[in-house]
Amino acid sequence: MPDTSALAVCVGEGLVSFVPATAGPLEEARTFHRSLAGAEWNTAIALASAGIRTAVVSRVGDDGFGRFLTAELRQHGVDGRGIEIDPDAPTGLYVKELSSGPDGSIDGTMHYYRSGSAASAMSPDTFESSPASDLLAESALVHTSGITPALSDSTRAAQDALFDAPREGRLISFDVNWRPALWRGREDEGRAVIASYARRADIVFCTQPDAEAVFGTADPDRLRELFPEARYLIATSRSGAVSFDGSERTESEALDVPVVESIGAGDAFAAGFLAGILTGLSLTGSLARAHRIATRALISTRDHVV
């Protein structure tokens, strides 16, 4: 029987997102809605919504935005004890710029204000202090992404520490999450760094645009050839997903649902798949759960499931 009490720990930066009330250029926006964002935090909330015991390890500023983020996690049932409070550095944020698509959907462009944030000071020491160390030691799965090593030298060292630590049965999940703005001027380095994590992870998620930008191909079978080390490799596109468990290969179509905005859907998809794996579902069952949870992030301009 699967262990339904298994703990998933998500490691990465939480951000405050400001979303305009209406689509249009930012200079014309007068009202914004505040919400929680950040890839790994979105995944944590979706995992908790799927009934998985979930915690976040990160850092926030000793400010109103940091308190807002930690309160949001608690409201969604995510354990935030592994979040350090930085007395000096601020909590990161971004502003989303919305534009209407020709099919009635909304496209979002993100403008980041995260340089020098509290989370950018994460380091291997972050994982040595309790309760973060206790949570990681207990975890059945640790989820992170290609965003974290792009933030600073210390966050890259922290990511290396996660991947280099003895697994002891723990799974490491890695979402490529290519953010070219964070690698500006060092894109080739970024591609090499992300490829190195993909080769060391147990579970790898990659979208079609990210695969093309980072690895030069979005063909799922070619990606499997490039990254045979991961047990699970999941390549997603707007039309669906191709997933591998070792040599087993499964395809699935995306669910036909109205799309308000797609940002955050990949994080929810990852959470659904991970929830399936942690509760003993088959590859096909895990993909089905991933698609169902992803639809919950498509129905609003928030980044996390509602």
Burial class (CB in 10 A: 0-12, 13-18, 19+), 294: buried
Side-chain half-sphere of 202: how many Cα atoms within 13 Å?
16
Domain count, the chain: 1
- Residue 271 inside a domain? The answer is yes
Task: Give φ, ψ of 131 to 5 degrees.
Answer: -90, 0
Residues 6+ apart with CB under 8 A from 189: 183
Tokens of 19: 């979303």
Q: Specify the CATH number for the domain of residue 196.
A: 3.40.1190.20
98 lies in some domain: no
| pLDDT reported for residue 55 | 98
Closest to 226 measured CA to CA, from 236, 238, 209, 214: 214
Q: How far is CA 77 from CA 3, 142, 210, 286, in A?
A: 19, 17, 30, 22
Closest CA to 251 of 280, 224, 271, 274: 224
Q: Which pLDDT score, from 0 to 100, does residue 263 have?
A: 57
Instruction: Identify whether 131 is preceded by a cis peptide bond (ω within 30 of 0).
Output: yes
Q: Which tokens in the block code for residue 79?
A: 């354990």
Residue 30 lies in a domain: no
Active site residue 267: yes
In a domain, 180, yes or no: yes
Q: Which two tokens stand for residue 125?
A: 């020491």
Upper half-sphere CA count for residue 298 (Cβ side, 13 Å): 16
Asked whether residue 233 is domain-assigned, the answer is: yes
Q: Is residue 95 part of a domain?
A: no
> Which of 79, 175, 210, 267 is the catalytic position?
267
In a domain, 25, yes or no: no
CA distances from 203 to 143, 245, 298, 302 (A): 9, 9, 23, 26
Which backbone phi and psi does 261 adopt, to 5 degrees? -160, 145
pLDDT in tens, the chain (306 residues): 344 589 999 999 999 999 998 889 999 999 999 999 999 999 999 999 999 999 999 999 999 999 999 999 999 999 999 999 999 999 999 998 988 776 666 677 888 999 999 999 999 999 999 999 999 999 999 999 999 999 999 999 999 999 999 998 999 999 999 999 899 999 999 999 999 999 999 999 999 999 999 999 999 999 999 999 999 999 998 888 999 999 999 998 875 544 444 455 889 999 999 999 999 999 999 999 998 888 765 444 444 445
79 in any annotated domain: yes
Q: Are strands 7-11 and 141-145 parallel, antiparallel or unpaired?
A: parallel
For residue 249, what are the domain limits? 7-14+38-89+121-295
Residues 6 or more apart whose Cβ sits within 8 Å of residue 210 = 176, 177, 178
